[in-house]
Amino acid sequence: MEENEELNDEGLGNPDNSQDSLVKVTGMYKDWFLDYASYVILERAVPAIEDGFKPVQRRIMHSLKELDDGRYNKVANVVGHTMQYHPHGDASIADAMVQIGQKDLLIDTQGNWGNILTGDGAAAPRYIEARLSKFALEVIYSPKITEWQLSYDGRKKEPVNLPVKFPLLLAQGAEGIAVGLSTKILPHNFVELIDASIKHLKGQRFTLYPDFPTAGIIDVTNYNEGLRGGKVRVRAKISTLDKNTLVINEIPYGTNTSSLIDSILKANEKGKIKIKKIEDNTAAEVEILVHLPPGLSPDKTIDALYAFTACESSISPLGCIIEDNKPLFIGVKEMLERSTDNTVELLKAELEIQLDELEEQWHFASLERIFIENRIYRDIEEEETWEGVIAAIDKGLKPHTTHLKRAVTEEDIVRLTEIRIKRISKFDLEKAQQLIEGLEEKIAQTKHHLAHLVEFAIDYFKELKKKYGDGRERKSEIRIFDDIEATKVVIRNTKLYVNREEGFIGTSLKRDEYVADCSDIDDVIVFTEKGEMMVTKVDSKVFVGKNIIHVAVFKKKDKRTVYNMIYKEGKGGPSYIKRFNVTSITRDKMYPLAGENASSEVLYFSANPNGEAEVVTVLLRQSGSIKKLKWDLDFADVLIKGRASKGNLVTKYPVKRIELKEKGVSTLKPRKIWFDDIVSRLNVDGRGELLGEFKGDDLLLVIDQKGTVKTIPPDLLTRFSDTMVVLEKWNPNKPISVVHYEGEKERYYLKRFLVESPNKEELVISEHPKSFMELVTTDWRPVLEVEFIKPRGKDAKPNLEINVEDFISVKGIKALGNQLTAEKVKSINVLDPLPFEEPEEVSAEDMEVVDEESIDNSDDDIATKNDGSDQTSLF
């Protein structure tokens, strides 16, 4: 009855309740749900810090040890054995075992275990086999120091935690999703983990970064030790095979070749990138060939692959482990420290057990020697009872046991009685003494290890590295990534049109005026006759304002595009001239550029991508006593300011029209360009080495270690290879000196040449497989030093110093050059060049008028009115 009353209180036991009655789940949530959540967290999803295993993984490893006889076992058999300990289905056990096997550390596999590169799954468990690796047998198991517990049905014993003497959790990584909790510990490099453990034991600092089995390039700038909020950026390794082919040799962690190719094809279908076809030649190593249409920039396509496909992704680690049956959030540094400290404790426990066993062996060996050497076994001949035998032996031993480390027990005497007559008759006193001395040496060594436990642990880790470290070098290359702007690398896959009179822009206005190619992620900047400006997203059809005078694809943070404008403020008002640029805006907001008067009108407008300043002719209407009705106006005399500036006064009289008289030249200084060797990219932000100031037609000289020479425009999207040896501003009159080894003639040659064909890549060494470029210098008057190999039994030939200018004149780029020497060369070095005065170039200050940095980039939303000092009359 009480039960029914309780049920009625919860709204469950009243038979008269309608279907709309409320059911309280407070009790269920508190008991059942929290029990379930705790079970999932502790028993399924999150690994333990002690050994780095989830329960299913630990049970698999325990089963493999029980079945281990040195031969391979069918995985299906191992799975069946594991089910004695794991209360779940065979499929989940098999999947977990395949994941361990694919990490190639603990399990020696045989058969088709799948491929992490292609995403192919493993064969069925009945077809594949496994056994423990030598590393696992050495590092994971030690039954004497293992704590045991009953399995779920009480029939078997299983380990609470395996005594793992290695930071296994960090080596393999772990990922799991529980109820309201998840973990994602990234894998780290085997050798680096051992080195970090040794540094920790020595009290030195260390850092740990992930290393992925799929290799690739990683940016760990924000790794944050694997804690919540950290991030690792991963990229595929993409290189240029030729001008129309890219090759992907390494893929990002978390992807496979199938998913990567699918993402590339999807981006191609959406028009983000443009490719001709893809070939997947992946076998033991990744090789994906991406064929490009003719004329498409490989560098730009590589950036687009990173921006729009799975060739770049971001991984958010989350270090969560189980300690003392509770989830704990810690970083990888603390994980390694705890693991290393735990390894020291396990080694200590093993040494203590070993010491006890050695001392027991020494104790009994000493007793056995005393028992046989002193013929104590004869004392029991007259004894008729068992007690008498024990007492007789005990009495016979007492005079000889003073040097023993512990008292003689009855168990010891019983063991002596079990010695066979055959052993007594063949007893060798000398061998017995050698055995005791050998045990004493081992005992002394073990005690030494215990007294110097840290040194012993360091030697243990060094031995692991020596035995198992070969072939486990870092796979993922650590770099700092450059940020890729999607709008700069997206393929322009659609066309933009404008209806100027009606004020519409869009991609669907195909009957109207064509503006430019664009993409669906571009912004468009529009200027109207009323002196208003707006930036809006590309769309099929957008109204921006009637009488459009200029429309173009908008480039964010563009300081080099300068807009020249003359406008009339209000009806009958004065006219002003202004120059400005637009670097940042609020999208879809209309900005007034010609004052707040609704009757303002733009009289002249031009957009200049390099800050050009033209000369215009102003013609006034005949009005009153005006004498000068026509004069020229040079925009170069007007400073570039923010878009909200009012400008300079042109005239207060009515303007008839304004005509272009002379096209302008750039009023911006040549761009200063730097090379950042960290990301191997050019920039204009002052990062890295300054290459020089570049005008529109200036080029870069690029020389590769493979012997290729080319000149290219200083495009900020260009990617430079790791084999580049020269990168500088190209001077067409400056000779290039190259020492190369001619493979066919087996001699060193020196050549000197000028680049004859700009924007063309040329090979300056022969194509013989043994040919190579020894060195290159772009000094005006270089000097080289040749060091010769010392002949056997003779003195070495003195070093040869060569003035390159005297040795060879400037010849064609394809010329072989002059033979350097017929002797065997040890090394060739570049010495300090001879003095040379370079022809002086016209300085930027003399050529140009306006410095980019001095431009007033006002981004205020409200136009500021100038005071009188800003309104200089030009008439």
Provide the β-strand partners of residue 183: 176
Strand-pair category, 477-478 with 217-219: parallel
Strand ranges (DSSP E) for 382-522?
477-478, 494-499, 504-506, 513-518
Quick check: 170 and 332 in contact, CB under 8 A?
A: yes
**Which of 743, 792, 791 has its CA nearest to residue 766?**
743
Chain-centre distance for alpha carbon 556? 28
Phi and psi at 327, nearest 5°, equal -70, 140
**Which of 747, 764, 746 has its CA nearest to residue 755?**
764
**Which of 218, 280, 270, 283 has its CA nearest to residue 248?**
280
Angle of helix 453-468 relative to helix 190-201, nearest 10 degrees?
170
Rg, the chain, Cα only: 41
Q: What is the DSSP string of 288-307?
A: EEEE--TT--HHHHHHHHHH
CA atoms within 13 A on the CB side of 687: 12
C-alpha distances (whole Å) from 100 to each of 50, 95, 615, 817 are: 18, 9, 75, 59
Secondary structure string (H, E, C) spanning 786-840: EEECCCCCCCCCCCEEEEHHHHCCCECCCCCCEEEECCCEEEEEEECCCCCCCCC
Query: Running DSSP on this structure, what letter comes out for residue 315?
Result: E
Alpha-carbon distance 186 to 331, whole Å? 11
* Three-state SS at 480: coil
Asked if 72 is an active-site residue, the reply is: no
Neighbours of 512 (CB within 10 A): 16
Place of tokens 């929290």: 34
Q: How buried is 596 (Cβ within 10 angstroms: 0-12 exposed, 13-18 middle, 19+ buried)?
A: exposed
Torsion sign over Cα 216, 220, 225, 226: negative
755 contact partners, CB below 8 Å, separation of at least 6: 701, 709, 711, 730, 732, 736, 762, 813
C-alpha distances (whole Å) from 386 to each of 314, 333, 375, 419, 832 are: 78, 63, 19, 16, 100
Alpha-carbon distance 380 to 390, whole Å? 8
Residue among 127, 253, 306, 749 flagged as catalytic = 127
Strand ranges (DSSP E) for 507-639?
513-518, 523-528, 532-537, 542-543, 548-554, 562-568, 575-580, 591-592, 601-608, 612-620, 630-634
- Residue length of the chain: 875
Query: Running DSSP on this structure, what letter comes out for residue 621?
Result: P
**Which of 563, 537, 461, 547 has its CA nearest to residue 499?**
547
Quick check: 217 and 313 in contact, CB under 8 A?
A: no
* Three-state SS at 749: strand
Phi and psi at 680, nearest 5°, equal 55, 45
What token pair was written down for 252? 């990002």
766 contact partners, CB below 8 Å, separation of at least 6: 740, 742, 743, 744, 816
Chain-centre distance for alpha carbon 342? 30
What token pair was written down for 163? 């005594």
**Which of 330, 336, 331 has its CA nearest to residue 197?**
336
> Which residues does the annotation mark as catalytic?
127
